């Protein structure tokens, strides 16, 4: 099959025929067109590596790759070391459940976190003393390029694999998601404000270093894995803690020819105006209601020029095939009537019936071919 970049004129979508059906792009070409704001031959569809990996050996997958599915790998072009910090990472079983414990020992104390069946059960940060230890850890973290390692891993991917450099999280989101958790951070911002802000400053210095490394490294599209939902902060805190980081750091990446996608997988309506002014290129994992609170029509009205890498709600996959197909095409009409600035993905919960439902999505997207 011939594969080449196509020059599309704006317009609607419909079933392919004749020569158009013989000039299909592969998934990497589709994603490149999507990133460029151009029109691919059809709307792309991908799944996160960490969702796919559980059943990667299943014989049903190759047919999906052939039908257009891609798998996204998030790789780091930077490496971290922590001289002066003793790191203990152990796994064990408790009451029949798999457990994981991380301990960080420093001259100013130690902190630990535990996970049960992959979910955080105890976070690192619970007291002011914990914040002081974590600040020591962050201040004693060295960050260096590992471009050759990134390139080797990217080159080893299969043809349907897409390598994406990680930008990781901005400082407050790292505290919220990785170190303290939502429940704790809400009152830590009030009760331990000095400690929170000191850790935030240390993380910001490291984030600036990561930005410099990633800007000079391989890859065009960068994943800022924020895991942001507006209900956790609201517009005032967004403008105080997130937006200034974006406004300071992202222009350096844009100057290097990079695109930035922020993983905004939650409810976004209350921050839509602030997000509109943020130097973000892609709203990634954008999820309509009921998990989110913006339809794709509303999201497109709020952010007319941003790219949407949209998560299909896991409940959608339970629809009858005809209804699932209609929903996919309706969302294309809502967000990308000209076939541009939209891709779909599985980025959150894994659909249990993927063998039957994901082929329906791929078949529906064939009707978006020009």
Radius of gyration of the chain (CA): 21
Distance between CA atoms of 329 and 335, rounded to whole angstroms?
10
**Which pair of tokens denotes residue 296?**
């794709």
Contact 341, 44 (CB under 8 A): no
Give the DSSP letter of residue 179: I
How sure is the predictor about 17, in pLDDT bands with cuts at 50, 70 and 90?
A: very low
Contact 227, 166 (CB under 8 A): no
Q: What does the pLDDT read at residue 32?
A: 98
Peptide bond into 166 cis (omega under 30): no
All structural domains of the chain = 18-80+125-366 (3.20.20.210), 83-124 (no CATH)
Of 114-123, 249-258, 276-285, give the lowest mean pLDDT range: 114-123
Task: Report whether pLDDT(360) > 70.
Answer: yes
Q: What are phi and psi of 338, to 5 degrees?
A: -100, 5
The residue that leads in pLDDT, 183 or 220, is: 220
Q: What does the pLDDT read at residue 370?
A: 73
Q: What does the pLDDT read at residue 5?
A: 33
Rounded mean pLDDT, 91-107:
95
**Which pair of tokens denotes residue 31?**
């994603």
Q: What does the pLDDT read at residue 44?
A: 98
Task: Report whether pLDDT(294) > 90.
Answer: yes
Q: What does the pLDDT read at residue 23?
A: 73
Q: What does the pLDDT read at residue 118?
A: 85
Distance between CA atoms of 273 and 1, rounded to whole angstroms?
45
Q: What does the pLDDT read at residue 1?
A: 30
Whole-angstrom distance between the N-terminal and C-terminal Cα of the chain? Answer: 17
* Single pTM value for the model: 0.92
Let me know if 133 is exposed, middle or buried by CB neighbors in 10 A (0-12, 13-18, 19+): buried
Contact 24, 8 (CB under 8 A): no
Q: What does the pLDDT read at residue 21?
A: 43
């Amino acid at each position: 099959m011939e594969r080449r970049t196509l020059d599309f004129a704006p317009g609607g979508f419909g079933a392919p025929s004749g020569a158009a059906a013989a000039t299909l792009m592969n998934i990497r070409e589709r994603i490149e067109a999507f990133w460029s704001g151009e029109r691919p031959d059809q709307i792309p569809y991908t799944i996160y590596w960490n969702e796919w990996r559980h059943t990667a050996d299943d014989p049903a997958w190759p047919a999906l790759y052939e039908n257009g599915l891609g798998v996204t790998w998030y790789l780091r072009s930077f490496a971290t070391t922590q001289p002066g910090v003793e790191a203990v990472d152990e796994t064990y079983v408790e009451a029949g459940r798999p457990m994981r414990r991380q301990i960080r020992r420093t001259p100013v104390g130690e902190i630990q976190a535990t996970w049960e069946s992959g979910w955080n059960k105890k976070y690192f940060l619970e007291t002011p003393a914990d914040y002081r230890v974590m600040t020591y850890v962050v201040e004693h973290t060295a960050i260096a390029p590992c471009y050759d390692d990134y390139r080797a891993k990217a080159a080893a991917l299969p043809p349907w694999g897409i390598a994406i450099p990680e930008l990781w999280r901005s400082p407050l989101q790292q505290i919220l998601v990785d170190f303290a958790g939502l429940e704790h951070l809400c009152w830590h911002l009030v009760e331990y404000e000095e400690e929170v802000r000191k850790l935030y400053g240390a993380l910001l210095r490291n984030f600036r270093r990561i930005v410099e490394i990633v800007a000079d490294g391989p890859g065009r599209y960068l994943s800022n894995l924020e895991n942001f939902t507006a209900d956790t902060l609201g517009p005032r805190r967004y403008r105080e803690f997130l937006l200034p980081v974006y406004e300071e750091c992202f222009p350096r990446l844009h100057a290097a020819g990079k695109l930035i996608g922020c993983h905004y997988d939650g409810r976004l309506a209350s921050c839509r105006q602030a997000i509109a002014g943020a130097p973000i290129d892609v709203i990634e994992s954008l999820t309509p209601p009921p998990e989110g609170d913006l339809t794709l029509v509303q999201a497109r009205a709020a952010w007319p020029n941003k790219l949407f890498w949209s998560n299909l709600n896991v409940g959608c996959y339970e629809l009858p095939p005809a209804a699932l197909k209609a929903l996919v095409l309706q969302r294309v009409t809502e967000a990308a009537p000209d076939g541009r600035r939209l891709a779909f993905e599985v980025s959150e919960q894994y659909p249990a019936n993927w063998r039957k439902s994901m082929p329906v999505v791929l078949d529906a997207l064939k009707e978006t071919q020009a």
